[in-house]
Amino acid sequence: MTGTAGQINFRMGRHPKGGCLPDIDDGEFADWARLLEQKTGLFIAPERKSFLATGLRTRMRETGCKNYREYYLKLSRGAIQAREWSLLVDCLTVHESCFFRHSSSINLVEEVVLPETVDRNEGISVWSIGCATGEEPYSLAMLIDAYRLKCGKKFFFGITGTDVSLPALRHARKGIYLNRRLSKINAEFQAKYIRSVSDNRFEVVNTLRERVCFAQLNLRDIEKSPFGGVDLIYCQNVLIYYHRERRASLVECLVPILRPGGFLVLGPGELLNWQHPKMKKVPYADTLAYRRIQE
Ligand SMILES: C[S@@+](CC[C@H](N)C(=O)[O-])C[C@H]1O[C@@H](n2cnc3c(N)ncnc32)[C@H](O)[C@@H]1O
């Protein structure tokens, strides 16, 4: 596919579900990776070649395409284009998440972000970027609600979870999970914030779900996002989809969205040596967090 889609060469390989579907070679990989980055902002590292091939094959099988060229043409033309791009992006992103996933970051929110924010504001607004199926924003909601009861101060809080994946967001809105997801939710929070709905599933209670809303947003379009005055931006396991330089420019776009004094919590190791004149690193073990300087 170098240059134009019409130049795709492909070799045949056996698809895991049977039937012959093409293998992807290094040249094809480079072309697909470039196209995906241009169109969707997704960066697929060379070591994830087989992951890309599996995703492409899934969609090729679903759309009845016999080779990469045919699928490429389908993606570039025709009425199904927008929907098909969205389905492909869904195949190429991992929506794995869990409640209270990174305990040090959670402790940082509880011990630093909440006391500092509640002291200065009458409310807390939180944005969970790349929220997947909702475990992250619901965990933050449990933490904030419990803190509110504990500190005895009345304050409003609201959380927005955004993700590029519509199926993940649909799941998040329902707020229903398999019981095996319970293991990271402590007994106190289980008693307060979840309710069993069947032998093997539970749901997040309505009073908490009312605090959380979900919307589709591709991080690529962050500059056009309507967010502002946010006290806490929580963004973990999402920047990994981007090149190192792109990560820094994306995070830069988050700075003006934070309220002065607001916090940005990233996943440790997801951004190296980043500095910004308006942001100060928050010293807290095993975390990567910044605070916007108060002006
Ligand atoms: C591994 S999950 C992380 C979920 C959660 N933040 C956590 O740490 O448990 C990564 C999520 O990022 C989302 N994502 C990937 N690229 C994105 C993009 N360009 N814009 C928005 N979300 C994206 C994926 O759809 C996926 O749901």
DSSP per position, 38-102? HHH-----GGGHHHHHHHHHHHHHHHT--SHHHHHHHHHSSTTHHHHHHHHHHHTS-----TT-S
Confidence (pLDDT) at 267: 97
Indicate whether residue 95 lines ligand 1 (CB < 6 A): yes
Instruction: Name all domains of the chain by residue range, CATH numbers in brackets.
Output: 5-91 (1.10.155), 103-292 (3.40.50.150)
Confidence (pLDDT) at 79: 58
In contact, 168 and 161? CB cutoff 8 Å: no
Confidence band for 247, pLDDT divided at 50, 70 and 90: very high
* Residue 89 in tokens: 């992006």
Per-residue pLDDT of 256-282, as tens digits, reads 999 999 999 999 999 999 999 999 999
Confidence (pLDDT) at 122: 85
In contact, 235 and 130? CB cutoff 8 Å: yes
At 222, is the secondary structure helix, strand, or coil? Answer: helix
Indicate whether residue 86 lines ligand 1 (CB < 6 A): no
Task: Select from 43, 138, 238, 249 the residue to mutate for testing ligand 1; criterion: most ligand atoms less than 8 Å from CB.
Answer: 238
Residue closest to 239 by CA, chosen among 268, 277, 263, 273: 268
pTM of the model: 0.88
Task: Select from 163, 234, 239 the residue to mutate for testing ligand 1; criterion: most ligand atoms less than 8 Å from CB.
Answer: 163
Per-residue pLDDT of 77-135, as tens digits, reads 755 677 888 889 889 988 999 999 999 999 999 999 999 999 888 899 999 999 999 99
Confidence (pLDDT) at 80: 60
Please tell me the distance from the alpha carbon of residue 181 to that of residue 152, in angstroms, as a whole number. 30
Q: Which atom of ligand 1 is nearest to the CA of 165?
A: 25
Is residue 73 over pLDDT 50?
Answer: yes
Confidence band for 20, pLDDT divided at 50, 70 and 90: low
What residue's CA is closest to ligand 1, atom 11? Answer: 130
Please tell me the distance from the alpha carbon of residue 145 to that of residue 52, in angstroms, as a whole number. 40
Confidence band for 27, pLDDT divided at 50, 70 and 90: confident
